[in-house]
Structure 1
Amino acid sequence: MHIVRSGASRRRSGLAAGLIAGSLALAGSASAQEISDGVVKIGIMNDRSGVYADTGGEGSVVAARLAVEDFGGTVLGAPIEIVAADHQNKADIGSNVARQWYDEDKVDAIMDLPTSSVALAVQSLSREKKKITIVSGGGSAEISGSQCSPYGFQWAYDTRALSRGTAGALVRGGDDTWFFLTADYAFGDSLQSQATEVIEANGGKVLGAVRHPLSTSDFSSFILQAQSSGAKVIGLANAGLDTSNAVKAANEFGLTQAGQKMASLLLTLTDAHSLGTKGAQGLYLTAGWYWDQDDENRAFAKRYMEKHGQMPNMLHVGTYSGVLQYLKAIKAAGTDETEAVARKLHEMPVEDLFAKKGKVLENGRMVYDMYLFQVKTPEESTGEWDLYNQIETIPGDKAYATVAESGCDVSSFPKN
């Protein structure tokens, strides 16, 4: 674990130097007195060395720093610090880091949290500790569903939204028989389950599925099972390098050339870039953000590229948005006290470069429009990161579950 400090934290010595007289000191620090420990500390926890390191990793830390910079560097007169840690895709490690952050390092909130099993474990601990989590990396619908928290927020996507977009569009277009390659943990199970509901509701059928361990390098046996199923669509209920490796194996075995379609239920821009248009062309995917949608996105992507050397994906910009909204909530609440900030996060609209007219439901689910994309062919692409064609917009209230549908027991939440 290592600490990454924003430029704002270096202002503390200058602030302290200015507090030289009693009455002036009280006046100058009145705002900062509402901030516990005199600093707002945000932890970005993710996979920094494994299968999801490229889809989140240091890229999410860069995005968090940009959010701090865009907010102005301080909140209520207090500096803002970003700390980062690698949970190694293990729930016990994530929980141990979170406990240390809360008990010893005085971290106020934890964000990103890819790998749903880790996100669920950290959110559970955070509920016990009365700390805020904003999950942009973890996708299981249970995060804002049956295992929701009054202090937990799910920001960038979830398995229901991905399934409504990709699976729904393909089945309605006649691709009505599916076989799943599913990552064998909470996220993969949730993704397959949600997609199956969408497929069957639209008159389709799931012919079978096979589960694979996280961080699988050889997909040969799994691809052969999918091929022999005769399904029109091979649904990839996985993410990161697992998705990339599965697509590469499918291409080697000629699945798409033989007429079967590949549908990635979570493909980030980083994954598509690693595959290239030759390897990923034609893949359908659902995402909430793409760098080339408008001028505001392009301007942010340029800044991000200058700092990190690649274009941001949905998860990176989701982290940016979550950090920015958390800081806005602290400012609106006049304190970083958890209950007050959580109330503001539930009340305030989300309006930034990530989410237009976003709203936060009582269960912590941030609802905003999603988009169905298709990876371009090599002939269509005009540059290294020109990868997607936008096919349709999926309104947020169609993509995401209502509180009642989610299974979240909001009656157990503290009353305001």
Structure 2
Amino acid sequence: MLRFCLRVVPFAMMATTAAWAETPVKVGVLADMSGLYSDIGGQGAVDAVRMAIEDFKPAANGLKVDIISADTQNKPDIATGLARKWFDTEGVDVLVDLPTSAISLAVGSLVKEKNKVALYTASASSDLSGKACTPNTVHWTYDTWALSHGTGAAITKNGGKSWFFLVADYAFGQALERDASGVVKANGGTVLGSVRHPLDTKDFSSFILQAQASKAQIIGLANGGGDTVNSIKTAAEFGLLQGGQKLAGMLLFISDIHTLGLKSAQGLLLTTAFYWDYDEKTRAFGERFAARNGGKYPSMTQAGAYSATLAYLAAVKATGSAKDGAAVVKAMRDAGPINDPLFGETTIRVDGRAVHRMLLVEVKKPEESKKPFDYYKVVATIPPAEAFRPLNEGGCPLVK
């Protein structure tokens, strides 16, 4: 009997030690679950993070990963309150998505204070890797510099020299107008003016009338989500295109094209970080995602949530803990070029900017689309070195 017990005790100790060896990680997805950005993030962002966790195979890599999610309602105070509660009482280590620049700018200082991690995969202001950069944050997917240099430069070089901007009146829209105006002027164009509208505007009539009255060749839409869709619909109702003016969607998502339909959206040029039908790897992800999301294919922010989560989990494995957020972000940077399945070769700079290719695409005509969500023709692949702002130009205090 004694010999039997001596054999059992080491086995039990080994089982207990194996359980202790699993590093706990808790991921918090702060997204827009019910508002104008819910189609580009929302539950789809949560599903993308779950897919990343599943594909990482936490148990095989010594991790135990849990996930929690909540609706920010696109309000910085609500998002900050949720983040603080999660950090203080829920044991959350990392935030993903963060649907507006105002939310990300508000939450960023709290993340640094608590030494956690924020993966900005759905917010756009280039200030997040500029003057507002921190050692605890990574800006994935896209930003206002990349969007404006992709779309703005292409249109201006092709003859769209006079611009008027329709601007969402918060941090994202203001940053996009600033960056796009700089690109237009640098390429020989002029900015005739702009008008700002509140977030989640329902009636764009007065704003479109001001854009028409400007006589600008190009009306730049420095807004996103439902605001962009409503802007385009109102412009069609007022005959803006028939009057000779053109629209430039500075931030458009595949879900916006789906809502508008190809008949209304055909011919639009836009810059995106991800297209599900780009290559074999993106197609495989897109089809898996669609199978889980009622046939809806992933937006670039949902793809960003997947890829950033994968890179984060790999860094936690490398450091052996999720508790020192700055150390995990450093490990993400030190990993060197990541062969990401959705964004291609990706590196994370000291300013927190994830640098990867961007795509300049044109929306297909209805007769060119052969399958669901077959919406884009890739006009150009912008290499990583050209896709994002040079490191020394952003004003990030971490850049020496």
- Which range, TM-score by smaller chain? over 0.9
Equivalent residues of 2:392, 2:399 under 8 A apart: no
Out of 312, 323, 328, the position equivalent to 2:298 is 312
Out of 239, 244, 253, the position equivalent to 2:238 is 253
Q: CA deviation at 1:351?
A: 1.6
Aligned AA (2:192): L
Q: What is the alpha-carbon distance in structure 1 between the residues aligned to residue 123 and residue 176 of structure 2?
A: 11
Residue 327 (str. 1) matches residue 313 (str. 2): yes
Matches within 5 A, 1:162-177: 162-177=147-162
Runs of 4+ in 1 over 6 A off after TM superposition: none
Q: CA deviation at 1:384?
A: 3.3
Deviations 1:239-271 (A, max 9, x none): 000000000001111111222111101100011
Out of 351, 355, 364, the position equivalent to 1:376 is 364
Q: CA deviation at 1:285?
A: 0.6
Out of 206, 210, 223, the position equivalent to 1:238 is 223
Residue 71 (str. 1) matches residue 66 (str. 2): no
Identity %: 46
Out of 256, 261, 278, the position equivalent to 1:276 is 261
**What TM-score comes out, normalization by structure 1 length?**
0.91
Equivalent residues of 1:115, 1:187 under 8 A apart: yes
Unaligned runs of 5+ in 1: 1-17
Q: What is the alpha-carbon distance in structure 2 between the residues aligned to residue 19 and residue 245 of structure 1?
A: 68
Q: CA deviation at 1:99?
A: 0.1
Q: CA deviation at 1:26?
A: 5.4
Q: What is the alpha-carbon distance in structure 1 between the residues aligned to residue 60 and residue 350 of structure 2?
A: 25
**Which shifted more, 180-189 or 370-379?**
370-379
Q: CA deviation at 1:369?
A: 0.8
Equivalent residues of 1:76, 1:334 under 8 A apart: no
Give the secondary structure class of the aligned counterpart of 1:358.
strand
Equivalent residues of 1:264, 1:285 under 8 A apart: yes
Q: What is the alpha-carbon distance in structure 1 between the residues aligned to residue 76 and residue 326 of structure 2?
A: 26
**Which shifted more, 19-28 or 79-88?**
19-28
Tell me which residue corresponds to 1:50.
35
Out of 389, 395, 401, the position equivalent to 2:377 is 389
Residue 24 (str. 1) matches residue 29 (str. 2): no
Instruction: Sort the Cα spacing of 1:225 and 1:411 in 2 relative to 1 into closer, same or farther, 3 A.
Output: closer
Tell me which residue corresponds to 2:4.
none
Aligned AA (1:171): T
Backbone CA RMSD of aligned residues: 1.6
Equivalent residues of 2:74, 2:100 under 8 A apart: yes
Residue 353 (str. 1) matches residue 349 (str. 2): no
Q: What is the alpha-carbon distance in structure 2 between the residues aligned to residue 256 and residue 69 of structure 1?
A: 46
Matches within 5 A, 1:153-232: 153-232=138-217
Give the secondary structure class of the aligned counterpart of 1:410.
coil
**Which shifted more, 338-347 or 207-216?**
338-347
User: How many residues are paired up?
Assistant: 390
Q: What is the alpha-carbon distance in structure 1 between the residues aligned to residue 217 and residue 391 of structure 2?
A: 34
Residue 405 (str. 1) matches residue 383 (str. 2): no
Equivalent residues of 1:29, 1:77 under 8 A apart: no
Give the secondary structure class of the aligned counterpart of 1:301.
helix
Out of 332, 341, 350, the position equivalent to 1:362 is 350
Equivalent residues of 1:67, 1:324 under 8 A apart: yes
Q: CA deviation at 1:124?
A: 1.2
Tell me which residue corresponds to 1:40.
25
Unaligned runs of 5+ in 2: 1-7
Equivalent residues of 1:63, 1:317 under 8 A apart: yes
**What TM-score comes out, normalization by structure 2 length?**
0.94
